[in-house]
Structures are given as C-alpha cells and as structure tokens.
Structure 1
C-alpha cells in the first residue's frame, strides 16, 4: 500500500472500444500529453470474451469471469425453472437478478462494495447502455453511491445529484439515432463530473465512462472518417478533465487512469453459423423453446448451450464448425489437462471461462492480421455484422489489446512499460493508491512497475497452448507475471503454419 501526506483519490476515464494504435499526437493531443506525463501500459490486455459488460465487470471486481460470473454480454440461465436468456444491457433485469440471487449476481465483491466497507465514496458517470452503466456499480442504490447515466435518467441512484446536474446542464440527453455518433452524452457527463459531482462530492474514486468510439466503430468502421472525428471529440472532452487535473486535481492527490475495455477488428467475410450447426441434425436456435436442442448465442463471440449436454453432441457440433473457414479458437469443458472434450478444442479454464453459467461450447470467429479498407491491421469473420464494420468479443490481438495510461503524484512519469498487464489490475492498483488491501477474490495485481515506490519490472513467463483435429489447429498464447495470468491472444488455422 502507498501513502502520501494527503488523501489520494482516483478518476478512471474509459474510452469504449478505443484501440491504442488510434492514438496520435495530431488526432488525440490530450491523450498523447497524458501518455508523456505518466506511465503507458504497452502490453495491456482485456479479458475473454472481449465484450463490454464482461470487461467492465472484470475492471470493477479485479477478477476474471470464472470468479465474477458475468460470462458474456448475454448468457443462458439454466438454473431457472424455464431456461431463459439473460441480457445484461437491461439495467432493470440486472437489479432484479441481483435481488433474486440474494445479492450474488456478481460472485465477488465489486469496487463500490469494497470502497463502502472502507468508508470511501464512489461515483459512476457512464454513457454506455443502461445495463453496462449499472454493472459498473450494481450495488449503487443500496450503498447510496452516485450513478449518473448519459442517456437514462432512471439509472440515476442519487435524485438530488441528478436534479442539480439537469438544472445546470439541461435534461439528460436522449440516445443518439441508431447508427449515428453519440456525442451529446459524452459532453454532458464531462460537465457533470467537473461542474457538479467533483465540487459537491469529491469522491475517493470516480469512473467517467465514454460509450464511444465503440458505437461508431460498430456502425461506421474503426478507421472511418466519422469514427476518427468522434475520437477527436472525445479527446477534447478528456482535455477538459486533463486541464482541471493539471491545475487542481494532481495537487490534491488525484490520480488519473485512462483505459479502454477492449479493442476492435474489422469484418471481412460472413459466417454461416446456424446453417453449419443445424446441418449436424442438432436443432439449434437463438432462444430456448420447444424443439430446440441447443441455444446459440452468436454474437461476435459464440456460446452454445445444449439442452441435454453430452460429449457426443459437443463433439459433433465442434467437428462441424472446425470444417468451416470461419472457425476460430474453440473451448469446451476439460477432458484432461489443457485438452477439451471435443478433439481440437482447448479446455475452457485456460481462458478463465470455467463457471456454472458458462456455455458447453465457447468459440470465436477466425481472424487474421491483414489490413482492413482503412489500412488498420486486424480482420475477422462475423455471423451477422456487415463487411467493413468494427466488431469485438474474440481473441484476436487487436480485440484483446486495450488502452492503459496512469498518471499522478505516485505514478512514474514518462515511462512506457512493457510488462504485461490487464484490465483486472486496475481495481487492486486503485485500492493500493487509497491504502486499502487487495482482497483475495481479485485475480489482478497491483501495477507496481508504474508506481514511483514500486519494484523493478517483474519477469514475464509466456506459454503457448495448442490443439489440433485434422486440418484444423489453434494456438492460445498466455503470459504470467507473478501469480497473475493474462490471455494475450489466440488464433486458428486450417493450414500447417502453426506447427
């Protein structure tokens, strides 16, 4: 734990889906300025699946999905009398599920709970979906902690704070029209933080979460003109925070953490997912119901839940997928060691997916390092997103790569750290800055190499896990620092180049 003469505080600013290679001195001068001022995490990775609400839950718990239990943006609840799909974008459903589970929707303590138990305050301001905003502090209402949404006033957990913000700034902005850049909410929340939340509350920890450029990357493409314009707009909003921080925040012991929860790749071809699965004779559908043998959650990361799981059915479905050119890495329950039940699959514990809510078959769509129409490396197949648009969820290096910059009185200045790090590391590092011990539920570590009183760069041990069935083969790369293991990336091929 670290201390200074006065109290330390932390502000985390999240840029939804921002790839680190989209930062530049001309496009993002403020982010670039912070990068020079603090410590840049050059090998920062998110968690698998690289989906927003999974990653955000890992950020605020400091734990991998096998511990916190949010195994996908959507997952099948097989415990209910009638199995049902759970969509965590629905904030009211999130609260209902937490109540119904006696407070155990998330299986480990979150940052809000830990801070409250230590007498510290916490505020969340987010323009993500209503559910993602709630997931950043799903206990906010019962803990009397502030949450403000950039679009959904109902998500607010402090009516007086919302009233003051709207009295100053006007009504909470309506969601942007489908497929258009979402700008108003980002400016609204930045002003809410600087003009109301900080002056009135001065929270020990605050999260300002921009939902962009994720939305525009999905609907325009990661390197499209509109997306780059959105990134520039966000950088200007962040510049307001940075100006305040340099003049007032840093002298008061405020530390800044800037991050993104995942990266993006570009769709280059369409995958015939359901046709391939149904050709096996196993009746597959996207929702549970009569006559459905397997529920397929076919987002950019795939999850298959069998009504009556059997090794034979799992092997049949996996074998069919592995014959298709779009099939990327596949994970099933462990048969022994690192091998999955189905030939060619890897054990799902290797990607921290061994949880009662986990699907019988987890898979990603195949990616490559070719350049997209905008000149950026990283392409993949998709079952539903149009060619040319940005997606995430899988294990391509550009999906797993995410932004990480730390700055403040106790952070090393002008450093580019090449020590592997991950999204689970932010919560323990925040607690360390506040003088709070890291709970044993956290799998992340304190980023000591970024701290002025920290240790020397710790060593990293890299491992590669391989599996093969016929012409299909896959390779998963992981790296370990101390007791913390990170997923670096994974890919699959139908050619012998991985041998």
Structure 2
C-alpha cells in the first residue's frame, strides 16, 4: 500500500503556482491533478483549517473555531490564542482539544502512524496530532514535540533549530532534513506531513507579490524540490502519494479596524458582565461571544455591526435564534457546541494590489498594504490543492469543487481504511485512478441572501456556496450598505 506525504504551504495562492515562481510545484501539477476550485473552511485562518484537515469536519463540529477563540468549558469569559501551551492546558482541563477523532487517531486505531513536522505556529503543529502522547505517531516543531520526550532526541541528532527569519527558509530546510533523514526512511509512517510557514509569514509583513513574498515562494519551492528529489533517489516516489495544499488564500489590507475598542465605545461591556461581549480578532474575521449566550445582546450587537462600513457577512448561531439581517452559522459550517454567537467577515473587494494580486479587505491587525486572511473573500476562500502519485490520475485539471475537509477522507480511501463516512468532507474520487470521469460529477451553486433596514441605511448580504452531494464549500460572502 502506497503511503501519503502531505506538503503544506501556508498562505499560498493558486496564482503563485507558476513556473517563474515555483517550477517544482508547477511540474508536479502538470503531471498530477490540479484542483482549481479548492476551498478552505471559514474563517480562512490557519488553525481552524488545520483542524479541518485533521478531522475532515467543519469548524462547528471539530470545535476549533479560529486562531483566536473562546472555549467556554475551558474559560467562560476569556478568548485565547490557539497555541501549544494554551491547547495543552485545554487538554489537561477538559480532556480534549478537538471534538472528533483526527486522522492520526484513526490511523492509530488501524495500526498505522501519522508523523507531522511543522515550522509554522506551535498551535498549528499541536493540532496535527494532539493525542500523540496517548495514541502514537508524532508532531515535530521547533518549540516542542508530541510526544514531548521526542524533542530532546530530535535536537540531539539534528542540532538546534535555526532562528526564525523572513523568509523562514532555514527552519524549513531543517524540517526537510528531518523528514528525509528520519521520518520517511526510519519511521516510514502511513501518512506524513511537512508544513512550510511560507509564504504566509512573509506576506503578513509585506504584500503578496512583493520582493519578499516572491523570494519566500521561490525558496519554499526549492525546498519542495529537495524533498521530491529524495523521493526519486530513494525509490520511494513509486509508492508515495503526494498531496500539496495551502490552508487559505490571501488579500491585501485596506485598513485596520480596532473592533474591540469600537464595541466598547458602542456600549457593550466586557464578557462576563451583563450584556457583555468577548471579541476574538482573527484578521479578516471577528468572533463574538456574548455573556451567557444572551440572545438580546446578540441581536443588539448584530444590528450595530451591520451599520459599520467595514462589516461584511454576519452569521448567528442557532442558540440566539433568528436575527434579522444575519444568516445561520450552519450555512458556513460554524454551528456547534463551541461556536460563537455572532461571526463577522470583514467587507472586501476584488481590487488589485501594487503587484497585481486581486483581493483587498479590512482587518483587525497588520497594516495597510500588507497581506491578510480570515475573511469570506473569494480570494481567501480559494486555495491550493495538487495531487500526484500512484493513486491519482495524471495530467488533469479539475473544476469540481473540493475543500480542505476532503483531504482526510480521501487519504483514508487511498489507504483502504474506514472512518471517512463520518466526516463532513468527501472522497475526491474523481481525482483517483479508477474514479469517475470528472464531467459526470454533479455539483451546484447555492446563494443565501438577507437584508435589514437600519435607521438610515439598508444592509444586504449574500453568501455563495458550492455543493457536491452532501458536502458544501463556502465560495464567498460579502455585504453592501447603502442609503434607503
């Protein structure tokens, strides 16, 4: 049975996968499968998408709502960043970080192993295999490993990790070395993953298409080439299915908005107080948790948000009922026991930045002209997926909708293992050898829209989805605010 190697490039846009910037990735795409209609989950932030890659579920079901979030069973009044120290505390206090089995757990139950190496955030790495101490497999990161005892062994063998730089190539080179000298030849896991923090880290500092962004992309591609050369030279290419993904697309910041300060100025006190609101900033999106899930507070907050020029699509959880002008959180896969009462995507446009890359958006952080993501912009809700290997068709381009939620069930199918049927994602059978002709796959578009009359203006929003069978993908969501 062929193994699976996942190679992730944080924040890589489809428009960046061109021979001039990424010759190695472009070559793999030409000889494998290119998924042109691929989607992250919303919010289009890394850790929500890592959890969806790990579980095959929408955020509402896996319980990791965003990079910054609240878990009320952990702390009922404070939001926190989903980084390893905090997630380890969540696990210790509540018994679990994610609300469903991960790919790593399913592999373990079937006598197989999942090993991940990541040089992004510690939270990203932790979510790859949060139960490795108990279930086996491993996660390797510059700051820690799971199991924790492995960190000392890795450092003793490969030396200390290089300092983080922009681009973060020295750390990625170390990760490739560990992957090709230890993980693949010695542990030989059924599934392995290597996560490049580029071009995301560089694009948060400078715009997509800047000299720094282009250097980051080129150097990440060079490291990918080293990895692919090892597969060929070791004879492993013939029995390795390679899946290349990014976690989300990208936009350029219009301007930043201090949402929490504005919420307080509007009269909403901090979480824990009557009528209070906790604000979880996530770049292009903001999650709002109201004290005790109070429906009246949620309604007042939603109405206030809709009157702001930077407010895009707004969803509300079932717990607060139907709020005029909002759409249900379930439409975008965010309904669940840990979900916020209100979620807002910032308003966005398709304007180009100075390098010609489309997509501009308001943001909670960063700075005007720099890169950002998190929103429901179509430029952030379209990301990269490529596949190559003995299990995949060769030299084809698919426009059938797909998403990060499909990666886990597709891998389980490639390995002949159960577990995928319980996932929100689907097996990408049209890409597999022996699978159906892509032209025979039925899919459709759905449009959800609503509006609300405010005192002087009319707020209107639309969310567009693509649907394949029982699986839905968020294409985009935005709003308009005009005089009545």
TM range (shorter): over 0.9
Q: Is the 8 A contact 1:41 1:418 kept in 2?
A: yes
Separation in structure 2 between the aligned mates of residue 417 and residue 245 of structure 1, nearest angstrom: 26
Query: 1:114-133 alignment to 2 at 5 Å?
Result: 114-133=106-125
**SS at the partner of 2:115?**
strand
Aligned to 2:56, which of 62, 76, 85?
62
Q: Is the 8 A contact 1:145 1:158 kept in 2?
A: no
Deviation at 1:230, TM superposition (A): 0.7
Deviation at 1:80, TM superposition (A): 4.7
Matched, 1:92 2:98: no
272-281 or 469-478: which moved more? Answer: 272-281
Deviation at 1:19, TM superposition (A): 0.7
Q: 1:249 to 1:262 in 2, by over 3 A?
A: farther
Deviation at 1:158, TM superposition (A): 6.8
Cα-Cα RMSD: 2.1
Aligned to 2:277, which of 294, 301, 318?
294
Q: Per-residue displacement from partner, 1:199-231 (whole Å, max 9, x unpaired)?
A: 111111100011111111111121210111011
Deviation at 1:311, TM superposition (A): 3.2
**SS at the partner of 2:24?**
helix
Q: 1:105 to 1:160 in 2, by over 3 A?
A: closer
**SS at the partner of 2:267?**
coil
Query: 1:112-261 alignment to 2 at 5 Å?
Result: 112-149=104-141, 151-152=142-143, 154-157=144-147, 159=149, 163=153, 165-167=154-156, 169-176=158-165, 180-249=166-235, 251-261=237-247
Deviation at 1:251, TM superposition (A): 4.8
- Superposition TM-score, scaled by structure 1 size: 0.90
Query: 1:455-494 alignment to 2 at 5 Å?
Result: 455-457=436-438, 458-470=441-453, 471-494=458-481
237-246 or 7-16: which moved more? Answer: 237-246
Q: Is the 8 A contact 1:334 1:348 kept in 2?
A: yes
Q: Per-residue displacement from partner, 1:318-340 (whole Å, max 9, x unpaired)?
A: 2222122101100112499xxx6
**SS at the partner of 2:365?**
coil
Q: 1:251 to 1:355 in 2, by over 3 A?
A: closer
Deviation at 1:156, TM superposition (A): 4.7
**SS at the partner of 1:398?**
coil
Separation in structure 2 between the aligned mates of residue 275 and residue 446 of structure 1, nearest angstrom: 44
294-303 or 199-208: which moved more? Answer: 294-303
Aligned to 2:43, which of 36, 43, 49?
49
Deviation at 1:168, TM superposition (A): 5.1
214-223 or 249-258: which moved more? Answer: 249-258
Separation in structure 1 between the aligned mates of residue 421 and residue 262 of structure 2, nearest angstrom: 43
**SS at the partner of 2:79?**
strand
Q: Per-residue displacement from partner, 1:11-30 (whole Å, max 9, x unpaired)?
A: 00000011111111111000
Deviation at 1:99, TM superposition (A): 3.3
Aligned to 1:40, which of 34, 43, 58?
34
Q: 1:12 to 1:251 in 2, by over 3 A?
A: closer
Give unmatched runs, 5+ long, in structure 2.
Answer: none
Separation in structure 1 between the aligned mates of residue 289 and residue 482 of structure 2, nearest angstrom: 29
Deviation at 1:50, TM superposition (A): 0.9
Q: Is the 8 A contact 2:129 2:138 kept in 1?
A: no
Q: 1:353 to 1:249 in 2, by over 3 A?
A: farther
224-233 or 79-88: which moved more? Answer: 79-88
Q: Is the 8 A contact 1:27 1:231 kept in 2?
A: yes
- Superposition TM-score, scaled by structure 2 size: 0.93
**SS at the partner of 1:12?**
strand
Q: 1:244 to 1:158 in 2, by over 3 A?
A: farther
How many residues matched?
476
Q: Is the 8 A contact 1:250 1:408 kept in 2?
A: no
Query: 1:425-464 alignment to 2 at 5 Å?
Result: 425-457=406-438, 458-464=441-447
In the other structure, the counterpart of 2:2 is 8
Q: Is the 8 A contact 2:275 2:297 kept in 1?
A: no
Separation in structure 1 between the aligned mates of residue 158 and residue 244 of structure 2, nearest angstrom: 25
**SS at the partner of 2:355?**
coil
Deviation at 1:289, TM superposition (A): 6.0
Q: Is the 8 A contact 2:167 2:215 kept in 1?
A: no
Deviation at 1:296, TM superposition (A): 1.1
Deviation at 1:425, TM superposition (A): 0.6
In the other structure, the counterpart of 1:3 is none
Q: 1:313 to 1:160 in 2, by over 3 A?
A: closer
Separation in structure 2 between the aligned mates of residue 161 and residue 321 of structure 1, nearest angstrom: 45
Query: 1:96-115 alignment to 2 at 5 Å?
Result: 96-102=89-95, 104-115=96-107
Deviation at 1:313, TM superposition (A): 2.2
In the other structure, the counterpart of 1:345 is 326
Separation in structure 2 between the aligned mates of residue 413 and residue 161 of structure 1, nearest angstrom: 39
Q: 1:372 to 1:78 in 2, by over 3 A?
A: same
In the other structure, the counterpart of 2:315 is 331
Q: Is the 8 A contact 2:37 2:402 kept in 1?
A: yes
Q: Is the 8 A contact 1:76 1:84 kept in 2?
A: yes
Give unmatched runs, 5+ long, in structure 1.
Answer: 1-6
Deviation at 1:81, TM superposition (A): 6.9
